[in-house]
Structure formats: C-alpha cells, structure tokens
Structure 1
Amino acid sequence: MTIVKFLGGLGNQLFQYAFYLALQRAFGNVKADLGGYESYTLHQGFELGRVFGISLREISEFERKLYLPEDRRWLWRKLRQICGTKYSYMEEKQLFYFDESIFSKAAKRYYWGYWQHAGYIRLVEDELRRKLIFPPFDDDQNEKLVGWMEGRNTVSVHVRRGDYIGDPLLGGICDVAYYKRAIDYVGHAVENPVFIFFSNDVAWCKQTFAPYSDVFVG
C-alpha cells in the first residue's frame, strides 16, 4: 500500500491529488492521510471534497502508526519490521522537481511533500480534467457575478496576502509593480479586458488597484 499525506490549502491539495492519482494509476492501492485538518486553521481545511466533491480512501489510525516512525514503542517497531514498513516514510527531497524513480517499482511508502511539478499532472491529465469540475452555483452572489461576466472579456487577478507577506521565499514574488505591469500588458493584448480581483485582503486591493477595476471578491 502507498500513502500520500495531504497538507496545506486548496492549491497544494490539487498538486497532491495529481500525485495521488498518478500513484494510483501506477500501483493501484493508494490511500490518503488527511489527519490534522480538523485542527488546521491557516486555510479552510480539506477543500477537495467541499469544492469538487472528491472523496479519497483514507488510512486508519492503525495504518498511520504502522507507516510512520513516530511511535517508538517496541510493539510498533516490531510490527513495522514484520510488515515491511520500517523504512516506508519518504519526504520530498527537492521542491518543484519531478522524481520519475518513484514510479519505477511498487513499494510500501508514505509520501510527505507538495509534489508541485507538471510531470505528475501530465501522467493523469485526462482524469484530472474529468474530476475537477466545479458544481453549479447555489448562492445569489455567485450567480449574479457569472451573469455579469457573460459577454465580457474577464481577466482573473489573484492577490494572496496574509501568510505570504514577509515570507523570505514567497513574499517578494508579486509586488504591486508586477501586478501593474501585468495589467498593462493584458490591457494591450486583450480587447476591452475587465479585471476581477480575488483576494484574502479585499480592502487592500480596493485601495491599491481601484483605478483598474471595481469588482473585488473575497
């Protein structure tokens, strides 16, 4: 059996789901570890189910202890030795890297990582396109927005703040100057573009990008 640990917000979960499906296609018996989401408050928990109606085969607490080296008591160490899971834990070694060797041989593995590479997506692209379908809107706000968008050249602008501000790895990726250059580029490349800003800090976006749009979604 192979286990994939799911962690982070929806974006990370989508990458992990592609990795999960790729392993499932290669080896068959794959389960998900969703432990920790009940107390995870940084984002909105496990969102693949809520947004796309996706359900995964989850591991039991027994399987978690059998595959993870955390419990060092003699009984669990012996069970791991007997069941061949003593060295099953494998953490992603390099970010943004496609590790093709993972698919070379079936093994009892517990994978922890983000798996953010198009290589994993390409292996199951057809299946992802079938399964990642948004459900119909069931609230007035979204229905009105969709109706307003029809017939317009809408451009989605994603502005993530919050936990990304000040992050040494991610905080400087998209500064205000970057957004303004991108908006200017699209303005010349697309006929009558209408920019819709999606953000976890709508107030800041309205203050910063008011000249470019009057549609802001939180």
Structure 2
Amino acid sequence: MLDDLAFFGSKVPHNGYELERIFGIHAPRMSERFDRETWDMMVRARDEEGKSLPQMMKDVGLSLTVVRERMVKNLNYDGEVLETKSESEIPIPSRDAYFHGYWLSDGFFRFYERELREVFEFPPLESEDRELAEIIKLSRQSTAIHVRRGDMAQFGWSAPAEKFAERIKWMEEHRAPQRYFLFSDDIPWCRENADALGLSGLKDRLVIVEGHKKEKAYIDMQLMSMCVNRVSDRSSFSLLAGFLCRAPNACNISSWKISNAEFVPQ
C-alpha cells in the first residue's frame, strides 16, 4: 500500500494526492487503515517531530525492514535498512517491508510497463486543449521543453539554462522538430532567460503553453506525453510524461537521464 502521509498536514506538496482524481486509480493507502484521531496524531508527529511512517511503526513495536533506493538518504529510521544495488537488484525481505525512494528509472518496473501504460489513462481534453493537442499531433517530430522551477530552483536542483540550449541544439541536429512546445511553472522566468535557454533561435517554431494551474496542472503532463520528443529538467513530472508517450521512437533527454539518444555535451 502507499504511504500517503505526505499528503496530509500543513506541508502538502504540489497539488496533493491525484491518482484517483486524474487517472481513476484507487490504490490502497495507509491513511485508510487508521481511524481519524490516530491518523491526525501521526500527521502531527511527521510535521512537528520529523518522524517517518516506518519509525512510527517501530516505536509501537511493529518493526519494518526498509528497502531504500541507492543514494536516497532522506528518511529518519533507526531500524534495519537495505539498499538497492541497481535497478535489477532490489532486495525483497521475507518480513514486512517499507520501500523508500523516488524509483524514477523505468528499470524498476520494466516488467510491468504494458500494465502501467494501460492503467495511467488521462481524461479527455477540453476544447482549447484539444486544439493544441491536434497541433502537436500534426507537427513533425513535435518536441516538448519542460523547465521546472519552483522548489527545484529553490533547492538549487534545476538544470542550468545552458543545458537546455545544448539539448535543443542536439534536437535540431538529430530530430529537426517542426515545432517546440514550452511547458514550465515559471513562464516569465523562461521569457527573461530565453537566450540562455536556447529558445530565442526557435522563433515562430516555439509554442508557449500556459494556463494549466492547480487542479489542471496535469494537463501539461498530458500534452507533453503527446509530443514525440522531450527536453526535460530534473523532474518526475516530465519523466512520467515521457513514460506515458505512445509515439514510436520517442526521445527523452533530461539533465540527468538520456534514453534513445547518444548525447555528448560539447
């Protein structure tokens, strides 16, 4: 079951839990296993004391083995912790376990790729977005550019602007897109830094996608998944868009992961 503790309390990330609202997926969640009073107490322990769910379990005598994705350290737990060695070497404990990580690489779920693609089905688009989707569909080698700012920029984790320029240059040389589609949570910043991002040279081939905020933010992911190619920031949002892309020979280039492309920075 999913640990959905992060979607309660005073610091809910992004738009909260959206699997059911957007994709109609009702996954078993930890919050459904406790009465309201107990769950509220657990939320306070997370917010005020920084306790993780496995640590709460251990504190009341229900010790878990944590399986942690390699290099992911942000979990407070003083019990047994096993670490993955690679995407194909994931330790599976014989006792109750808690899997902690981002699990962004498709190597972790390659055997279930077909089933996942079937489950993650976007809802129909509304009129204006249908028109944009048609433009994407009719554009040869349509390419999404996703520049994520927000918390990633605050933490210093966003890719430098010049990285986008390098990858756009690669796209120009190897895919020659007819149109590019820019997606970002900070379009004004992108406009101010258009030269550094490599956007200025695209001129009338660049479509800036705006207007999808809060409960409609997922539409950016949906439209990105319709593009043949993606130039992405360090973002699970755009990585999932690439995974859900149905286009044959799709190309996804990001600041930390490259697939179906041999990209060598100059």
Q: CA deviation at 1:52?
A: 1.9
Q: Distance in 1 between matches of 2:151 and 2:71?
A: 19
Q: Does the aligned pair in 2 maintain the 1:92–1:115 contact within 8 Å?
A: no
Structure-2 change in CA distance of 1:69 and 1:151 (3 Å): closer
TM-score between both structures, scaled by the size of structure 1: 0.65
Structure-2 change in CA distance of 1:141 and 1:116 (3 Å): same
Structure 2 residue aligned with 1:156: 144
Structure 1 residue aligned with 2:21: 50
Structure 2 residue aligned with 1:190: 175
Q: Which runs of 4+ in 1 moved over 4 A?
A: 62-65
Q: CA deviation at 1:135?
A: 2.1
Q: CA deviation at 1:161?
A: 1.0
Q: Distance in 2 between matches of 1:128 and 1:51?
A: 15
Structure 1 residue aligned with 2:107: 119
Indicate whether 1:180 and 2:165 are aligned.
Answer: yes
Structure-2 change in CA distance of 1:191 and 1:165 (3 Å): closer
The structure 1 residue matched to 2:207, chosen from 174, 192, 215, is 215
Structure 1 residue aligned with 2:95: 107
Q: Does the aligned pair in 2 maintain the 1:186–1:193 contact within 8 Å?
A: no
Alignment of 1:1-218 (within 5 A): 31-39=1-9, 40-59=11-30, 60-61=33-34, 68-70=54-56, 77=60, 80=61, 85-86=62-63, 88-90=64-66, 92=68, 94-95=70-71, 97-98=86-87, 100-103=89-92, 105-137=93-125, 139-153=126-140, 154-165=142-153, 167-168=155-156, 170-171=157-158, 174-207=159-192, 208=194, 209-212=199-202, 213-218=205-210
Summarize deviations over 1:192-215 as a string: whole Å, max 9, x none. 521101100111223313442541
Q: Distance in 1 between matches of 2:26 and 2:148?
A: 27
Q: Does the aligned pair in 1 maintain the 2:6–2:12 contact within 8 Å?
A: no
Q: CA deviation at 1:136?
A: 1.5
Select the structure with the greater relative contact order (CA < 8 A; seq sep ≥ 6): 1
Q: Does the aligned pair in 2 maintain the 1:92–1:114 contact within 8 Å?
A: no
Q: CA deviation at 1:101?
A: 4.4
Residue correspondences, number: 172
Aligned residue for 1:215, secondary structure, equals strand
Q: Distance in 2 between matches of 1:132 and 1:50?
A: 12
Structure-2 change in CA distance of 1:100 and 1:141 (3 Å): same
Paired amino acid for 2:167: A
What residue ranges of structure 2 are gaps of 5+ in the alignment? 43-52, 73-85, 211-266
Summarize deviations over 1:112-154 as a string: whole Å, max 9, x none. 32233333111321211221222221x2221121122232121
Aligned residue for 1:119, secondary structure, equals helix
Q: Which is greater in Rg?
A: 1
RMSD of aligned Cα (Å): 2.9
Structure-2 change in CA distance of 1:112 and 1:130 (3 Å): same
**Which region of structure 1 is more displaced relative to structure 2, 148-157 or 116-125?**
116-125
Q: Distance in 1 between matches of 2:90 and 2:101?
A: 15
